A and B are shown apart, each in its own frame.
Chain A
């Protein structure tokens, strides 16, 4: 029964989702949205689970003085500081997002710059990855290098200055061969998703039940 009940729930829920896709009549019409709402509620509660996991593993690192434990201390202090700012704002302001509140201060002057810093690193990582990908060591890599050079040149103003064929060529590469490959992968993913979903609904795929 330990496996049969979850399998039955999966089968019935999967079937309902499929059927409601084709039936707009109530009560089936809005069933999908309702299930997604339930999922969001469950997800809200699991954040507590996540918080517990985060705090527990980092507190253990500090207690055991594991390598890199000062980072864990920064994380705990950051967590408590943000939570304190949130509670204070909640108690004293109309909304957590009130301009000038302590929570918005943390968000604007800590979280946003940290996110921007990480995102900015992407430019350097793209350069290093592109350097490796475009090294012309094989025929395929050489073709990739030439194609990438054409597309990049075709998409900047200097490309049009060199030749009016460059922007048109870049557009053709993006619209025809690139799009064909992308759609091929899309179709494969769509069919794979249907087959995988069917395996889950029929109970053949049970990894999630372990």
Chain B
């Protein structure tokens, strides 16, 4: 019995079907939409590539600049994958071979090439972004032009921004300073630029009332911009003498070190109002709860969605996402700036209608698809994939 089993094993191992099959239909071509520095190699899975990583390891990719070799290994991808991106020199021909690898066995190589990497002048995968950006920019500029012609534009009330004067006034009455924090935002973050507009407004009011303004910073570049903004704002009502450079200072670039520094300043100097405007991470709640514990009026504004619930829980007013970005338009009431908000609102309305229509279309399409009529579902999937490309 034992001999019979051994004989059967030998026959099975020697059978022609045991040989490892190479990947099928190997193709090498320029990687689309790149700067001309890579070639993408694609292939069909080897019949032995069945998803078992212990039995089938993957594919070995070899490259040469000559069809006859020598070929050198440039990469190895695990089983199940069917493409490889190879970084190469542009405008030079390359030949590829792909071999399947399963344990000690290696298949015959499957060849592809020649292929050449070339640069593209337009990233076609971003056509959707371009079209939507052009539409959005057109609408914003169009409304700005309408505003320039003197058209009256309505802007809804934003309580958090209306409360700026109240917060500064209360602090002044109590004889307490005001604190302003940008969080961990950098100057390249658009939300920090928006926060500078709010800082300017706060600083003007502080200068008018003679109230001390403290601006501890996490980023030295933001500190430099804040110093300029506050200095300029103090000059506007004719009180440049009240500006103290030391009040707009750098603390540290460490997240929790910054939170500890701000908390310490709050507990020692007891500001009457605290503004949290910019981008925040886990330090948001550490600072805003400390501000709440000292009884300060707190106004927060951020585009960091994860921190919004914390600010809503611990602050008196919170500017949610886009309200923060609209602050400069709201505070200045400049018609051109308001025009840009109007254009933004128009796109938002267009998107809301689009989403509602697509939701109805997708639901009906799903029902019809189950009834054997897939055309609506196909259209839905096509639109969805167009939006998701790039």
Contact bitstring B115-159, A, C-beta under 8 A = 1, else 0: 000011111001001100100110011001000000000000000
Cβ–Cβ contact A199 & B35, under 8 A: no
Cβ–Cβ contact A49 & B224, under 8 A: yes
In the complex, whether B36 has a CB less than 8 A from a CB of chain A is yes
Cβ–Cβ contact B322 & A25, under 8 A: no
Cβ–Cβ contact A53 & B223, under 8 A: yes
In the complex, whether A157 has a CB less than 8 A from a CB of chain B is no
Cβ–Cβ contact B285 & A198, under 8 A: no
Residues of A within 8 A of B325 (CB): 189, 192-193, 195-196
Listed stretches B15-23, B43-51, B57-65, B338-346; interface member: B338-346
Cβ–Cβ contact B224 & A208, under 8 A: no
Contact bitstring B333-362, A, C-beta under 8 A = 1, else 0: 010110011011001100100000000000
In the complex, whether A142 has a CB less than 8 A from a CB of chain B is no
Cβ–Cβ contact B200 & A125, under 8 A: no
**What is the bound-complex CA distance between A199 and B217, given in angstroms?**
25
Known contacts A53-B220, A132-B313, A204-B337; is-contact A192 B123 (Cβ 8 Å): no
**What is the bound-complex CA distance between A93 and B253, given in angstroms?**
25
Q: Which of B246, B256, B289, B312 contacts A57 (CB 8 A)?
A: B246
Q: Which of A53, A129, A189, A210 contacts B285 (CB 8 A)?
A: A129
Listed stretches B169-177, B189-197, B373-381; interface member: B189-197
Residues of A within 8 A of B242 (CB): none
Listed stretches A84-92, A94-102, A115-123, A163-171; interface member: A115-123
Cβ–Cβ contact B268 & A25, under 8 A: no
Contact bitstring B252-286, A, C-beta under 8 A = 1, else 0: 11111101100010001000000000000011011
Cβ–Cβ contact A60 & B246, under 8 A: yes
Cβ–Cβ contact B254 & A192, under 8 A: no
**What is the bound-complex CA distance between A4 and B105, given in angstroms?**
69
How far in angstroms is the closest Cβ of chain A from B348? 6
Residue of A with least CB distance to B303: A189
Known contacts A25-B120, A210-B228; is-contact A42 B221 (Cβ 8 Å): yes
In the complex, whether B321 has a CB less than 8 A from a CB of chain A is yes
In the complex, whether A22 has a CB less than 8 A from a CB of chain B is yes
Residue of B with least CB distance to A30: B35
Cβ–Cβ contact B305 & A182, under 8 A: yes
Cβ–Cβ contact A185 & B308, under 8 A: yes
In the complex, whether A37 has a CB less than 8 A from a CB of chain B is no
Known contacts A24-B34, A204-B337; is-contact A115 B321 (Cβ 8 Å): no
A interface, over-half SS: helix
Residues of B within 8 A of A186 (CB): 305, 321
**What is the bound-complex CA distance between A60 and B246, given in angstroms?**
9
In the complex, whether B363 has a CB less than 8 A from a CB of chain A is no
Known contacts A22-B122, A118-B260, A195-B343; is-contact A187 B348 (Cβ 8 Å): yes
Q: Which of A46, A56, A194 contacts B224 (CB 8 A)?
A: A46
Known contacts A25-B120, A121-B286; is-contact A191 B313 (Cβ 8 Å): no
In the complex, whether A130 has a CB less than 8 A from a CB of chain B is yes
In the complex, whether B106 has a CB less than 8 A from a CB of chain A is no
- A58-91: which have CB < 8 Å to B? 60, 67-68, 71
Known contacts A47-B220, A193-B325, A210-B233; is-contact A118 B256 (Cβ 8 Å): yes
Residues of B within 8 A of A187 (CB): 348, 351
Q: How many residues of A contact B (CB 8 A)?
A: 61
In the complex, whether A108 has a CB less than 8 A from a CB of chain B is no
Cβ–Cβ contact B249 & A23, under 8 A: no
**What is the bound-complex CA distance between A185 and B283, given in angstroms?**
21
B interface, over-half SS: helix
**What is the bound-complex CA distance between A167 and B130, given in angstroms?**
41
In the complex, whether B369 has a CB less than 8 A from a CB of chain A is no
- B299-322: which have CB < 8 Å to A? 303, 305, 308-310, 312-314, 320-322
Cβ–Cβ contact A210 & B229, under 8 A: yes
Cβ–Cβ contact B194 & A196, under 8 A: yes
Known contacts A68-B268, A118-B260; is-contact A195 B340 (Cβ 8 Å): yes
Residues of B within 8 A of A133 (CB): 309, 312-313
Residue of A with least CB distance to B192: A208
How far in angstroms is the closest Cβ of chain A from B217? 8
Known contacts A118-B286, A189-B322, A195-B341; is-contact A208 B121 (Cβ 8 Å): no
In the complex, whether A138 has a CB less than 8 A from a CB of chain B is no
Residues of B within 8 A of A39 (CB): 188
**What is the bound-complex CA distance between A102 and B315, given in angstroms?**
42
Residue of A with least CB distance to B310: A129
**What is the bound-complex CA distance between A24 and B123, given in angstroms?**
6
Contact bitstring B96-119, A, C-beta under 8 A = 1, else 0: 000000000000000000000001
In the complex, whether B326 has a CB less than 8 A from a CB of chain A is yes
Cβ–Cβ contact B305 & A185, under 8 A: yes
Known contacts A24-B123, A57-B246, A208-B193; is-contact A198 B36 (Cβ 8 Å): no
A-B contact pairs, 20 of them (CB 8 A): A22-B122, A22-B130, A23-B122, A43-B186, A43-B219, A43-B220, A46-B221, A47-B220, A50-B217, A53-B249, A68-B264, A121-B286, A132-B314, A189-B321, A193-B191, A193-B325, A195-B140, A195-B325, A208-B193, A208-B225
New contact pairs (12) apart from A205-B328, A210-B232, CB-CB < 8 Å: A22-B126, A29-B34, A43-B219, A53-B223, A67-B268, A71-B264, A118-B283, A128-B289, A192-B325, A192-B344, A196-B193, A196-B325
9 shortest interchain CB distances as A-B pairs = A50-B220, A192-B325, A50-B250, A118-B256, A29-B35, A192-B322, A188-B322, A133-B313, A210-B232
